[in-house]
Amino acid sequence: MNKPLPKMNTDQELEDFLDQDLTEYLVPENFTPATFEFATKDKSITLRISSALLAAVKEASKAQGMSYQRYIRQVVEESLSR
């Protein structure tokens, strides 16, 4: 019997999840193609945005348990994969 992967919102939740026997989760339905996250990050950009937008981005990234730079990169990647 297989189980769907639980939704995890923080790195700590993921670490706790990985501390258990994952045999029931190792089914093809629980895997998705990799994103650019593992690609070498060899370029940087400068982006000017409003203070309000930056505050909203930081709040959203905090809710996801990640840095705001990583959050912005993730949102861009998700946008491009649609």
pTM of structure: 0.53
Higher model confidence: residue 76 or residue 31?
76
Question: Which tokens go with 33?
Answer: 């193609």
Q: Which run of H or E residues covers position 26?
A: none
pLDDT digits (tens, 9 = 90+) for 28-71: 877 776 666 667 788 999 999 999 999 999 999 999 999 999 99
| pLDDT for the residue numbered 36 | 60
Instruction: Give dist(CA 70, CA 8) in Å, integer.
Output: 16
- Are 18 and 58 in contact, with CB atoms under 8 Å apart? no
- Are 66 and 74 in contact, with CB atoms under 8 Å apart? yes
Instruction: Give dist(CA 74, CA 16) in Å, integer.
Output: 22
